[in-house]
Amino acid sequence: MKQYFSLFRIRFINGLQYRAAAFAGLTTQFAWGFMEILAFSAFYRANPAAFPMEFSQLVSYVWIQQAFLALFMPWGVGGNAVEAIVSGNIVYDLARPMDIYNRWFFETIADRVSRATLRCAPILMVAFILPPSFRMALPSNLWQLSMFLISAVSAMCVVTVYCLLDYMSAFYTMSRYSAIFVILADFLAGGVLPIPFFPAPFRKVVELLPFAAMQNMPLRIYSGNISGTDAVRGIGLQLFWLAVMLIFGKWLMKRSLKRTVTQGG
């Protein structure tokens, strides 16, 4: 494992160099966060009792989502892996003395953590000093904070192994873009609309899918929408889907590499 942690460290340090991109992302995330909160506030003022989350919970949900978007987003990472498959440069990865799946996993995690490191602090600082109605709240207790941290790490790993399945689809499609993977994950994980706002029958199904183990879980735990034994069960669901997709991903990688044909050389 030492080689993979060294790879993580190198990739993480390299990712910290892109400060201009982080600043551009910050402005976008601030704009999007304010837009979401203002839009929801208009509906809440009309009938607050009609919504499944308190407005303060929704505000915390939005700001934590924006602060740690890089950890949970199903897009914007892994371009190197897909490009290696499509271009044929994967032969260089095959020549290296390390497992390709593990290499891509640690590289993707490093990319996510480095981007989140550059962006989370400014967003959180602003979110904590906004006017009361738009201010992000602190966790109610240490237990809630601990559950959030465990769930956030689990969600990041679940999103990563899901994205690795997306990357491996390039072995069969030879396409650099798989929009359906991104759209499904973003919507069904609560990236566009929190899952509690989904219609009840649809929500019950979505909460059992791997998408509910992504950003949905840590954001709802932090906001207080999920707590106690429900939070523990939610983390258990995350670990279950992480194990399932990890095992399937490793199997698919081995199967895909057996079918890979590289011309020349």
Residue 232 lies in a domain: yes
Q: Are 155 and 215 in contact (CB under 8 A)?
A: yes
Residue 265 lies in a domain: no
User: Which residue, 178, 154, 176, is CA-closest to 245?
Assistant: 154
> In which region does residue 94 sit, left (phi positive, over 0), alpha (psi from -120 to 50) or beta (all else)?
alpha
Residue 208 lies in a domain: yes
Banded model confidence at residue 176, pLDDT cuts 50, 70, 90 = low
Residue 128 lies in a domain: yes
Residue 264 lies in a domain: no
How long a stretch of residues is the chain?
265
Inform me whether the pLDDT recorded for 146 exceeds 90. yes
> In which region does residue 209 sit, left (phi positive, over 0), alpha (psi from -120 to 50) or beta (all else)?
beta
pLDDT in tens, 74-126: 876 766 788 888 777 788 878 878 888 999 999 999 999 998 888 888 899 99
Under 8 Å CB-to-CB from 261, ≥6 apart: which residues? none
Under 8 Å CB-to-CB from 124, ≥6 apart: which residues? 63, 67, 136
Residue 246 lies in a domain: yes
Residue 103 lies in a domain: yes
Q: Which two tokens stand for residue 55?
A: 């407005």
Q: How far is 212 from 201, CA to CA, in rounded Å?
A: 15
pLDDT in tens, 131-144: 888 899 988 889 99
Residue span of the structural domain in which 173 resides: 2-259
5-19, 139-153, 154-168, 200-214: range with lowest mean pLDDT? 5-19
Residue 24 lies in a domain: yes
pLDDT value of position 99: 87
Across 34-60, average pLDDT: 89
Number of domains in the chain: 1
Inform me whether the pLDDT recorded for 265 exceeds 50. no
User: Which residue, 38, 41, 36, 35, is CA-closest to 54?
Assistant: 41
